[in-house]
Structure 1
Amino acid sequence: MELSKIEIRKKNIIDTATKVFAQRGFQEATITEIAKEAKVSEASIYEYFSTKEGLLFSIPAESSHTLFEVMAFHLKLIRGAANKLRAIVFLLMDSYQNSPDFAAVLMLFLKHNKKFLDTEGHHAIKEGIKQITQVIEEGIAANEFRNDLNPYLVRSMILGTIEHLVTNWVMTGTPETLTDFVDPLIDNIILGIEATPRANMP
């Protein structure tokens, strides 16, 4: 489905703002800079976003919705809760790796902004990560994971580790490739939550 001219213009503004915020920082960046970079007037930006903060909050909505749609599609094709968790972590890490400006905006300027909690973008993320909880619950029900697990805590461990790795990557450039950490991360998580622990490796 083709985007309308209005949708194209709005997407251009959001994409440009993501780049400018990531490079300059939210506080330092100005609507004037964003307008110049996007090749639109400042008035055009204010047609869609009433404030600079409103523009910031709009950034995750569409990209998060698309990511979690892709995730849901792939999960339907995968058997086993552990394999599904591995796929989820890969998709998240790969998404951040391929969108470093978005990763910077999300981790540095949105994650700890209380006002962000009441936005469409946060709602999209909140709904999307429910898939992680569902997979953990599925693993418990199938006796793949321990039945004394708290799905929320397991999800928090996974997301917290991802957030730490991505934030460090955004700020220092290391690790060079985020997806290199998918298997070590999930292997360690699975060792702690699987119903029948694997024999110790020699």
Structure 2
Amino acid sequence: MQTTQYLTEIIRELQHASEQIQDEQAELLVNDIIGANKIFVAGAGRSGFMAKSFAMRMMHMGIQAFVVGETVTPSLEKDDLLIIGSGSGETKTLVSMAEKAASIGAKIAVVTIHPESTIGKLADVIVALPGAPKDQTTSSYQTIQPMGSLFEQTLLLFFDALIVRFMEKKELDTQTMYGKHANLE
């Protein structure tokens, strides 16, 4: 197959994945973002990159959003929201973060393939994304892509869709957001 044919198939997989996400779960997450004092995002590996991009867009909207583990990240408090992106929902460092957030009394949201996971059991809001786990030998979900690529791509697009929904609810536009874009580049 040609590269463009692979690209077409990846886009088809993403379209199929997007059709399986429940709007009710997404709306709960948007409302929790609106109601939170500060937002913290976390993920490991490529999922972490997707979470960082989400935090960046929230900052552009004027939301206090932080990436867990960065040197300028403040402490999590009771009225805050921790959003974790984790395909497995079992990554040990992320499980520890969720447990700590729960002990503080902060809200926890997880975006995952496995709602029944350890992090899923700790979460107040669960958004289930379809996809294959990194080890696809035990998965019935089929993708041409390696490891967790489909989940990670769907995670990025889902986070971008949340941003658009938030913009709609808060009557924000791109021009307003651009005013908060980095200017020391």
TM-score range, shorter chain: under 0.3
Kindly name which structure, 1 or 2, has the bigger radius of gyration based on alpha carbons: 1
**More helix, by proportion:** 1
- TM-score, reference length from structure 1: 0.23
**More strand, by proportion:** 2
